A and B are shown apart, each in its own frame.
Chain A
Amino acid sequence: MSIVKDTTRAIRMTLILWVLSAIIYPLVIVVVGQVFFPFQANGSVIQSPQGQPLGSALIGQAFTSERYFISRPSVVEYSIGKDAAPTGISGASNLAPSNPKLIKRIQAEVDQFQKKDISLTNDLVYTSGSGLDPHISVATANAQVEKVARARTLSPDQIRSLIAENTDDRFLGIFGEPGVNVFKLNLALDTLKSSS
């Protein structure tokens, strides 16, 4: 008798709390998001003038061309390509500081960058946590100014002002680290070209 009573009460409470916390609460937030903050709620997607999504202001992209600033290395290739379809992915190397594979990988990256004459900074050789890190440090961006200026025949000062525009500063000047949003910076470079 008491087992039946206890079980029914547990089932009834489960269902009621489920309706409250798993249906009403999320739907309220979805509605608030879609009605009042649709840009953020849908992933801060940036579109081309034709309406084609180009990426998200919060998610990094991989860049290989000389004409672009390069992003940090990612073990999931920034969720680009067939491996990421259809859901999108994220991931990190999870290599321990003592793992010989980490040292070997970084040595190879360093050799690559030295060949391309890019000066070394730590965020450029260490892979990010998410594999989608949109930022590089200000120093890493500055180190690439000359390269991009040459490839685009722009003045380095013009590019430096774009870097400043696309730098996300610390919160209240205190919390976190400043970072240059590579996708937005490169997009700004492309826009500059098409408008001039």
Chain B
Amino acid sequence: MWQGFLQIGLTLLILVAITPFLGRYITRVFLQQKTLLDPIIKPVERVIYGLGGVRAKEEMTDWQYVQAVLYSNLVMGIFVFLIFMFQGILPLNPTNLSAPSWDLALHTAISFTTNTNQQHYSGETTFSYASQMLALGFLMFTSAATGLAVGIAFIRGLTGRPLGNFYVDLTVSITRILLPISIVGAVLLLIAGVPETLNGPVSAITLEGATQYIARGPVAHFEIIKQLGENGGGFFGINSAHPFENPNAFTNLIEIIAMVCIPAALIYTYGVFANNTKQALLLFWMVFIIFVILVGISAVGEYQGNPLVNSILGAEEPNLEGKEVRFGWAETALWAVLTTGTMCGAVNGMHDSLMPTGEFSTLFNLFLQIIWGGQGTGTAYLFIYLILTVFLTGLMVGRTPEFLGRKIEKREIVLASVILLVHPIFVLIPSAITLAFPNTLAGITNPGFHGISQVVYEYASASANNGSGFEGLQDATPWWNLTTSISLLAGRYIPIIALLLLADSMAHKQPVPETAGTLRTDSLLFTSITAGVILILGVLTFFPVLALGPIAEAFKIASGQ
């Protein structure tokens, strides 16, 4: 058992060690300071801006920034939808796959444009190499870069700067952060065994004389941006549990670090932007502590195993249903909590088969959305909670709520509330409707309390733009494709619009000089209260669901039936 926790501990140590470096690098990129890569990248960027018709010096207002996000994302979504619909006649289709149904293509296009990568299909049997490489792999860069751009624009606004130019932020996110790390990562994965080929599947004659069909493809380049961009959509149906996506513990470590490094670093980036690394570190450790607790309970749950099975085996053995031997209980539990926390959504073991504690942690992460949080947006949500805490404590002690020397007024609180309310609305209402028709709509495959979790998880994953699932759910139906599409869009774009408006209104406020009466937001006490607000808001909104799902299931299993 302690060996397992040692693995988890060392992985987190690596994360803590690299966070300040990456955080500082990201800051330099977005403050347009000198970086090592400048001589190579500057000319490339000039070509991109020239051909794209972008004036790099142009600053955007909040609505211009919003419009640029929406127009670009719409164009990208339509472009990718068309690639899917024409995949039957496009090249790079060695197994002659025909176009998917229109509702699946629509859901997939929306799901990848929103950085969610919820998949109602299996990659190897549904999408050609052209669709994977030219469509899905493309959106993995742009959707991640869109999130990063919005996160950075939000931080700029909070710290009193103009929001910037969306197309410049989009471009530098790709050319200076996502692409360089991806190239290094893809080559490392390739050396460690992840395939990168345009040849079709292999048919092998097994040692016992049967025919085995081995799917392969251009996986390595896809895999690394899938992790790094918090995308999470697997090349193969079974995602990073597939030996070709994640062949050994080395690739597993790379993929884990890739998935969490940017969201963790962005908290530090904020600190450098705001010239207050103390506050950034307090927030970092707050998230870290909640995260470690969730990993702990999940890992212990998997280690102790399933009592119902243990009584058949006559021994206490870890739960390995839906897990790979090379990862075992510890790496799978760590990954499950990370992937739901960071809104990556890739899996290296099946979440549907996790013990109730793991189920609880993954759902909890999807509900809160800030235990690292999605690319760019997660960090922004963290500050939404902070603003809300400033407001609440301000009310309690009777002071004007101020954050970074700027007054929090009605407009800011309204926008913050919108951001926090979108999630429960687009998770709980569609879940309730779907659960009202368990036989016709829901497609539940695990009976009892777990079935409720299956449905709620799917909508929570959509609205949080996560993309993982309790994959037993029969979700390849028009009902699921269309209703989750609504949650995907609402969970992505409503908060983005509100974040940008909020940031702009903060940027235009007259800074209030700090006095002895100012409520300091960079103290341990204030951070603890923020943690309390986050947990209470999250738990109060979603507690009934957690009680009906994982908590009830835990009691049922413990009772031995």
Binding site for B on A (CB under 8 A): 6-14, 16-18, 20-23, 25-26, 28-30, 32-34, 37, 40-45, 52-65, 68, 72, 78-81, 84-100, 102-103, 106-107, 110, 120-123, 125-137, 168, 170-171, 174-177, 179, 183, 186-187, 190
Closest Cβ of chain B: how far from A27's Cβ, in Å?
A: 9
Pairwise interchain contact A88-B134, C-beta atoms closer than 8 A:
no
Give CA–CA (A190, B207) in the complex, Å: 9
Which one of A93, A175, A179 has the greatest number of beta carbons of chain B within 10 Å?
A175
Pairwise interchain contact A16-B48, C-beta atoms closer than 8 A:
yes
**Complex interface: chain B residues within 8 A of A107 (CB):** 312
Give CA–CA (A196, B449) in the complex, Å: 58
Mark each residue of chain B from 177 to 219: 1 if its CB lies under 8 Å from any CB of chain A, else 0. Answer: 0010011001100111111111101111111101111111010
Q: A12 is contacted by which of B51, B171, B446 (Cβ under 8 Å)?
A: B51
**Complex interface: chain B residues within 8 A of A52 (CB):** 204-205
Pairwise interchain contact B250-A94, C-beta atoms closer than 8 A:
no
Give CA–CA (A174, B138) in the complex, Å: 35
Mark each residue of chain B from 111 to 146: 1 if its CB lies under 8 Å from any CB of chain A, else 0. Answer: 000000000001011000000011101100110000
Taking residues whose C-beta sits less than 8 angstroms from the other chain, chain B's interface range is 35 or more
Pairwise interchain contact A179-B202, C-beta atoms closer than 8 A:
no
Pairwise interchain contact A134-B317, C-beta atoms closer than 8 A:
no
Q: Given that A8-B53, A29-B218 are known contacts, is A21 also in contact with B207, CB under 8 Å in the complex?
A: no
A-B pairs with lowest CB-CB distance, top 7? A176-B249, A88-B215, A94-B472, A129-B241, A177-B328, A33-B196, A122-B317
**Complex interface: chain A residues within 8 A of B193 (CB):** 40, 44, 57-58
Pairwise interchain contact B170-A17, C-beta atoms closer than 8 A:
yes
**Complex interface: chain B residues within 8 A of A86 (CB):** 95, 201, 203, 213
B75 near A: Cβ within 8 Å? yes
Pairwise interchain contact A91-B237, C-beta atoms closer than 8 A:
yes
**Complex interface: chain B residues within 8 A of A11 (CB):** 75
Pairwise interchain contact B134-A87, C-beta atoms closer than 8 A:
no
Closest Cβ of chain B: how far from A71's Cβ, in Å?
A: 10
**Complex interface: chain B residues within 8 A of A43 (CB):** 195, 197, 202, 214, 216, 244
Give CA–CA (A94, B248) in the complex, Å: 22
Q: Closest A residue to B246 by CB, please name it.
A: A130
**Complex interface: chain A residues within 8 A of B210 (CB):** 62, 80-81
Binding site for A on B (CB under 8 A): 6-7, 10-11, 44, 48, 51-54, 67-68, 71-72, 74-76, 79, 95, 97, 122, 124-125, 133-135, 137-138, 141-142, 167, 170-171, 174-175, 179, 182-183, 186-187, 190-199, 201-208, 210-216, 218, 220-222, 236-238, 241-244, 247-250, 252-253, 305-306, 308-309, 312-314, 317-328, 331-332, 347-350, 352-356, 445-450, 470-472, 553, 556-557
Q: Given that A40-B191, A90-B215 are known contacts, is A129 also in contact with B322, CB under 8 Å in the complex?
A: yes
**Complex interface: chain B residues within 8 A of A122 (CB):** 305, 309, 313, 317-320
Give CA–CA (A99, B175) in the complex, Å: 47
Closest Cβ of chain A: how far from B392's Cβ, in Å?
A: 38
Q: Closest A residue to B454 by CB, please name it.
A: A96
Closest Cβ of chain B: how far from A66's Cβ, in Å?
A: 12
Q: Closest B residue to A189 by CB, please name it.
A: B207
Give CA–CA (A109, B250) in the complex, Å: 32
**Complex interface: chain A residues within 8 A of B236 (CB):** 90, 130
Pairwise interchain contact A61-B137, C-beta atoms closer than 8 A:
no
Which one of B124, B133, B306, B324 has the greatest number of beta carbons of chain A within 10 Å?
B324
Pairwise interchain contact A30-B326, C-beta atoms closer than 8 A:
no
Pairwise interchain contact B249-A171, C-beta atoms closer than 8 A:
yes
Give CA–CA (A120, B196) in the complex, Å: 38
Give CA–CA (A25, B181) in the complex, Å: 12
Pairwise interchain contact B324-A99, C-beta atoms closer than 8 A:
no
Q: Given that A21-B142, A40-B193 are known contacts, is A132 also in contact with B243, CB under 8 Å in the complex?
A: yes
